[in-house]
């Protein structure tokens, strides 16, 4: 069992290069099934979710060539059906994207019910609503989701809940439907736009991605293409928060500043100096910082994926901070671990009240999910003494070479088996 050991109290200094966005990559890889041709996907992060998805594509019959550490060449011509079983994808949420892609190409797909981080109930009713609106029959038996359609006919679909996954999945399913599909109340996250750009590069006709109304004109066939994944704004935001948490001076490179506006605004409100330098953000902080209120919202609001790392920063900011998690009802599992490190926090339902303390103390803690793991890394960087973090496999799902990157920034961090 791998563990992370951090000696806290070191200011982070230097430059960190941000990789491609996990949540875009985990949709784009299944989307290559639509091409039935060769796609080259660049700027992929080296994370376990990407490795698992490329294994699944291989198991389905795709031929995959690793062009370089961040580039895969994927030919899905020889895939003729799609069954993603438990062994392949039990820990992976994004396996459900194979449903939309295979339904569009084969009019049939079977995928195990999605796994992923335990941050709430995470239903998939909106995915199912979209598939059924297009004419598919959906069944869930023995933990397997089966979708099948004689024909897929374009439809008007109103999403009851703004859902990134459902928006992307239904968008993929509609690419080769007959006629026009309109998705109303669609998610507007940057990775929804990135996936739409990739689908259009393969020949689909999608307009409006990034707004709450997406229009998809069905096409007969798709083809292979080359696409570079957008930078990971959640990875970038995590390093910005870590820089602020250690009173450091860090250049976060390879970002799209616009995608980080909510995080930048909140950190500035705390007294962190952030300047935009091309496709980099320069973060300079000195303690003490001022506490703030955080409310997670769909894009362009404050991202739920940074609520946990941000909570760690608030534990040592002056005053009281109120954290309201409006997206996932179970996303405060990191709080108990932070309290073991001396944080003064209280959770009532979807709200956590944080009273800033002088400092945190190193302790043995365990990650419960990917971003809780990131929160514990930030807390370990802040804490006096040694912090030992268990369940590091969660962190490796979404952060490419996090220890090396933090070591390069001056953190005293190492991995032990
Ligand atoms: C994606 O999850 C991301 N995961 C999550 O990142 C991210 O937190 C989330 O979007 C929100 O931005 C991937 O992209 C693989 P949603 P997803 O559907 O698609 C409810 C990380 O840390 N909902 O936008 O599952 C749902 O319960 C991960 O990188 C329904 O009710 O999120 C939630 O309350 C964690 N019915 C809200 O919508 C549905 O059919 C938003 O969920 C679908 C969702």
pLDDT in tens, 31-47: 999 999 999 999 999 99
- Is residue 399 pLDDT above 80, yes or no? yes
- Do 285 and 336 fall within a single domain? yes
**297 in helix, strand or coil?**
coil
Give residue 93's pLDDT. 85
Taking residues 12-28, report their average pLDDT: 98
Counts of helices then strands in the chain (DSSP H, E): 14, 24
Do residue 159 and residue 39 come from a single domain? yes
State how far the Cα of 341 lies from the Cα of 363, in Å rounded to an integer: 6
335 with 205, same domain: the answer is no
pLDDT single digits (tens) 229-250: 999 999 999 999 999 999 999 9
Between helices 164-174 and 22-31, what is the axis angle to 10°? 20
| Last residue within a domain, chosen from 177, 197, 228 | 228
**Does residue 357 register a pLDDT over 80?**
yes
* Burial (CB count within 10 angstroms: exposed 0-12, middle 13-18, buried 19+), residue 275: exposed
Of 179, 207, 228, the domain-final residue: 228
Confidence of residue 117 (pLDDT cuts 50, 70, 90): confident
pLDDT reading at 119 higher than 90: no
Query: 26 with 172, same domain?
Result: yes
Cα–Cα distance measured from residue 228 to residue 7, given in angstroms and rounded to the nearest whole number: 36
- Same domain? 353 vs 246: yes
Length of the chain equals: 417
Domain harbouring 115, CATH code: 3.65.10.10
Confidence band (pLDDT; 50, 70, 90) for 114?
confident
Q: Which helix (H) or strand (E) holds 416?
A: strand 412-416
**pLDDT average, residue stretch 15-19:** 98
| 393 in the same domain as 271 | yes
- Answer yes or no: 117 catalytic: yes
* pLDDT for the residue 116: 74
| 59 close to 83: Cβ distance less than 8 angstroms | no
Same domain for 194 and 54, yes or no, is yes
Q: What average pLDDT score do residues 147-162 get?
A: 98
Mean pLDDT of 358-362: 97
Q: How far is CA 97 from CA 10, 31, 86, 140, in A?
A: 41, 7, 15, 16
In degrees and rounded to multiples of 5, residue 186 shows phi and psi of -75, 155
Instruction: Please count the CA atoms within 13 angstroms of the CA of 393 that sit on its side-chain side.
Output: 9
If asked whether residues 224 and 259 sit together in one domain, one would say: no
Considering the domain architecture, whether residues 356 and 270 belong to the same structural domain is answered as yes
Question: How far away, in angstroms, is 159 Cα from ligand 1 center?
Answer: 13
**What would the two tokens of residue 97 be?**
């994207």
Return the pLDDT at 68: 96
**Do residues 268 and 251 share a domain?**
yes
Q: What is the pLDDT of residue 377?
A: 98
Which three-class secondary structure state does DSSP give residue 100?
A: helix
For all residues of the chain together, what is the average pLDDT?
96
User: Whose C-alpha lies nearest to ligand 1, atom 39?
Assistant: 124
Q: Is the peptide bond before 161 cis (omega within 30 degrees of 0)?
A: no
How far is the centre of ligand 1, averaged over its atoms, from the C-alpha of 392 (Å)? 22
Catalytic residue among 39, 117, 201, 225: 117
Any idea which of 55-59, 118-122, 151-155, 208-212 has the lowest mean pLDDT?
118-122
Which residues span the domain enclosing 302? 3-18+231-416
Q: What percent of the chain has pLDDT over 70?
A: 100
Average pLDDT over residues 268-291: 96
pLDDT value of residue 248: 98
So what's the pLDDT on residue 417? Answer: 86
Pair (79, 190) in one structural domain: yes
Give residue-wise pLDDT tens across range 209-221: 999 999 999 999 9
- Atom 44 of ligand 1, nearest CA residue: 163
Number of domains in the chain: 2
Residue 168 Cα: closest atom of ligand 1 = 19
Q: Domain ends where: 200, 228, 256?
A: 228
In the reported structure, the alpha carbon of residue 122 is separated from the centroid of ligand 1 by a whole-number distance in angstroms of 7
What pLDDT score was predicted for residue 337?
98
> Which residue has its alpha carbon closest to ligand 1 atom 42?
163
Read out DSSP for 105-125? HHSEEEEEPP----SS----H
Residue 122's pLDDT band, with cuts at 50, 70 and 90, is: confident
**Where does 125-245 have alpha helices with state H?**
125-133, 164-174, 190-201, 233-245
Q: What is the pLDDT of residue 415?
A: 94
Alpha-carbon distance 236 to 264, whole Å?
A: 11
Looking at the fold, whether 250 and 282 belong to one and the same domain comes out as yes
Helix 190-201 crosses helix 164-174 at what angle (to 10 degrees)? 10
* Distance, CA of 130 to CA of 228 (rounded, Å): 28
135 — alpha (psi -120 to 50), left (phi > 0) or beta? left
Q: Strand 386-390 relative to strand 3-7: parallel, antiparallel, unpaired?
A: antiparallel
């Amino acid at each position: 069992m791998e563990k992370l050991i951090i000696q806290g109290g070191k200011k982070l200094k230097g430059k960190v290069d941000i990789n491609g966005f996990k949540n875009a990559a985990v949709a784009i890889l299944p989307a290559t099934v639509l091409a039935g041709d060769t796609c080259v996907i660049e700027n992929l992060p080296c994370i376990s979710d990407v490795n698992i998805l490329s294994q699944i594509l291989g198991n389905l019959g795709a031929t995959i060539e690793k062009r370089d550490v961040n580039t895969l060449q994927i030919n899905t011509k020889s895939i003729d059906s799609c069954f993603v079983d438990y062994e392949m994808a039990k820990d992976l949420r994004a396996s459900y994207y194979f449903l939309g892609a295979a339904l569009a190409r084969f009019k049939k797909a079977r995928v195990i019910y999605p796994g992923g981080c335990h941050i709430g109930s995470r239903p998939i009713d909106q995915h199912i609503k979209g598939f059924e609106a297009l004419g598919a029959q959906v069944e869930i038996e023995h933990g397997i989701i089966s979708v099948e359609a004689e024909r897929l006919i374009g439809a008007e679909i109103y999403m009851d809940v703004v859902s990134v996954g459902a928006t992307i999945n239904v968008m993929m399913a509609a690419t080769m439907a007959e006629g026009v599909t309109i998705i109303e109340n669609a998610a507007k996250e940057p990775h929804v736009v990135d996936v739409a750009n990739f689908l259009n590069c393969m020949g689909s006709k999608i307009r409006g991605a990034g707004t709450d109304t997406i229009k998809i004109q069905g096409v007969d066939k798709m083809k292979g293409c080359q696409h570079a994944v957008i930078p990971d704004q959640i990875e970038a935001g995590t390093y910005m928060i870590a820089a602020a948490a250690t009173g450091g001076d860090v250049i976060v490179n390879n970002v799209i500043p616009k995608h980080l506006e909510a995080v930048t605004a909140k950190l500035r409100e705390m007294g962190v100096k952030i300047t935009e330098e091309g496709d980099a953000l320069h973060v300079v902080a000195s303690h003490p910082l001022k506490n703030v209120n955080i409310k997670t919202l769909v894009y362009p609001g404050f991202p739920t994926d940074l609520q946990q790392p941000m909570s760690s920063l608030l534990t040592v900011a002056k005053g009281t901070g109120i954290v309201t998690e409006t997206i996932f009802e179970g996303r405060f599992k990191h709080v108990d671990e932070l309290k073991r490190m001396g944080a003064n926090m209280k959770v009532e339902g979807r709200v956590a009240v944080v009273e800033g303390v002088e400092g945190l103390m190193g302790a043995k803690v365990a990650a419960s999910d990917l971003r809780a793991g990131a929160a514990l890394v930030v807390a370990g960087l802040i804490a006096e003494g040694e912090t030992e973090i268990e369940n590091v496999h969660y962190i490796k799902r979404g952060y490419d070479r996090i220890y090396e990157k933090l070591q390069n920034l001056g953190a005293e961090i190492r991995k032990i088996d």
